[in-house]
Amino acid sequence: MTYNNILLERHDPVALIRLNRPKVLNALNSALMSELSDLLKELEQDDEVRAIVITGNEKAFAAGADISEMQALDFSRAYREQFISSNWEQVTRCRKPVIAAVAGVALGGGCELAMMCDVIIAADSARFGQPEVKLGILPGAGGTQRLTRAIGKAKAMDLCLTGRMMDAEEAERSGLVCRIVPAATLVDDAIAMAGEIAQNSLMATMFNKEAVNQAFETSLGTGVDYERRLFWASLDTEDRKEGMAAFLEKRSPRWKHR
């Protein structure tokens, strides 16, 4: 498939997706989100890919939804066309691990896209924010919900109500990003992290991802129950048998990803 707004680099077993509308700081328009959604579905089916990195460029992960596209929208059209359609949620449906590697700005829909990924790794140049309030709107792709769960009400209110940006240090301190790396090595570091994840059994990775995500959907008791059942299920995989056998035989496991 040909893509005009994103680039794919293969570093098997890691796939690197670069958002690529540099002239508008990777503003996320429908065409880009549709391509991203299609590519994620494609990579999901690709057995050679076991982890995915989404990044932008040194100036911007993404400066938000494309304001020039949104300007023409009103309620009835947005409702009819289901603006914020399923394309925006595709990242959350991907069962393989997805890392957001953020340099420069991740604002509005850009911050929301990063938060839909499993984990965010930030360059020291990264800046995050939900500046929608300055446009007379509010986040529309999960920002108020995911940001609040990630960094708590106090900081989420601060960011959403003032529209200010937070830098990488503050984002790490607040729990939005897992680590900060130099901007110059961001993509390499993200690929290395994805590669480390990809060395593990894909089955085990998917189980872990599903269980952690469940923490955002349920009460503690239900979540622990959910985890226990997934744990029991994991006992039946070929990789579990291989993983434990390899440990006891003091050798590296040979995963079948089954």
**31 lies in the site for ligand CO8, by CB under 6 A:** no
CB of 40 to ligand CO8, least distance (A): 16
Respond yes or no: is residue 242 known to be catalytic: no
**27 lies in the site for ligand CO8, by CB under 6 A:** yes
* Whether 257 contacts 50, CB under 8 Å: yes
**68 lies in the site for ligand CO8, by CB under 6 A:** yes
CB of 21 to ligand CO8, least distance (A): 9
Respond yes or no: is residue 109 known to be catalytic: yes
Which of these, 91, 209, 80, 81, lies nearest to 141 by C-alpha position? 91
List 60, 108, 112, 123, catalytic entry: 112
CB of 145 to ligand CO8, least distance (A): 12
CB of 111 to ligand CO8, least distance (A): 8
In the list 66, 118, 189, 239, the residue contacting ligand CO8 (rule: CB under 6 A) is 66
Near ligand CO8 in 140-199, by CB under 6 A? 140-141
CB of 84 to ligand CO8, least distance (A): 4
List 15, 51, 65, 194, catalytic entry: 65
Number of Cα atoms under 13 Å in the Cβ half of residue 77: 6
**H or E element, residue 62:** strand 60-62
In the list 83, 124, 240, 242, the residue contacting ligand CO8 (rule: CB under 6 A) is 83
Let me know the angle formed at the C-alpha of 161 by 156 and 163, rounded to the nearest 5 degrees: 90
> Residue 129 burial by CB count (10 A; 0-12/13-18/19+): exposed, middle or buried?
buried
Q: State the binding string over 89-128 for ligand CO8 (x if CB under 6 A, else -).
A: ----------------x-xxx-------------------
Whole-number Å distance between alpha carbons of 139 and 107: 10
In the list 65, 98, 181, 191, the residue contacting ligand CO8 (rule: CB under 6 A) is 65
Respond yes or no: is residue 194 known to be catalytic: no
Ramachandran angles phi, psi of 123, nearest 5° = -75, 160
Long-range contacts of 66-74 (CB under 8 A, 24+ apart): 66/24, 66/27, 66/28, 66/29, 67/27, 67/135, 68/27, 69/29, 69/30
In the list 8, 84, 133, 224, the residue contacting ligand CO8 (rule: CB under 6 A) is 84
Respond yes or no: is residue 103 known to be catalytic: no
Helices (H) and strands (E) in the chain, counts: 11, 10
Residues with a catalytic annotation lie at 65, 109, 112, 132
Which residues make up the interface to ligand CO8 (CB under 6 A)? 24-25, 27, 63-68, 83-84, 88, 105, 107-109, 131-132, 135, 139-141
